[in-house]
Amino acid sequence: MRVRAVVLSALASAGVLFLGWELGASSQPAQTSNAATTTGQPTNPGASSSATSTPTSTPTGTTTSTPSASGTGLNDGTFTGKTVNTQFGPVQVEVTVASGKITSVKALQLTNYGGRSVQISNYAAPILRSEVLKAQSARVSTVSGATYTSDGYLTSLQSALDKAKA
């Protein structure tokens, strides 16, 4: 009697799982493209650097620029962003603009307090660089697991881009 109850229970559970899976698969809409890809908006709009860290800035070196004829509003040259102090260390970014487009993004400083922080920064920096070059702006999503590094990187980048607009 007991074995029969266990077997029936297992079969009933399997049936519910199977039917639930079948219903779930047939009722889901077709996958659409990510709005962040088409609009350039971050996929995590609620992320805020002020909520997770207290960035402060220090003056940086000089920049060189020449006016761009492309009409994008960015002058050509190399621009150094402000140093952003995060909970895990300072972050500073340098951006190069040519023909009004971002052609290079270089991290001059990345979070460095502790070995794990360095690992996270080394993981996040190439991803952020790639996304910035693709988006041609600082309006990209933060890297999951690297919030402090991402927020500092993007804040410093935005200050460099602001210099490129001046």
SS3 90: strand
> What tokens appear for 86 in the block?
């995060």
44 part of a folded domain: no
Tens-place pLDDT, residues 101-128 = 999 999 999 999 989 999 999 999 999 9
More confident residue, 2 or 58: 2
Give the number of domains in the chain. 1
Predicted pLDDT at 17: 41
8 part of a folded domain: no
64 part of a folded domain: yes
Kindly report the CATH number assigned to the domain that includes residue 119.
Answer: 3.90.1010.20
84 part of a folded domain: yes
Tens-place pLDDT, residues 43-60 = 333 333 333 333 344 444
SS3 62: coil
27 part of a folded domain: no
Predicted pLDDT at 3: 57
pLDDT of 134 over the 90 cut: yes
Predicted pLDDT at 11: 56
Nearest to 62 by CA among 84, 94, 39, 14: 94
105 part of a folded domain: yes
SS3 162: helix
71 part of a folded domain: yes
Domain of residue 57, residue span = 51-165
1 part of a folded domain: no
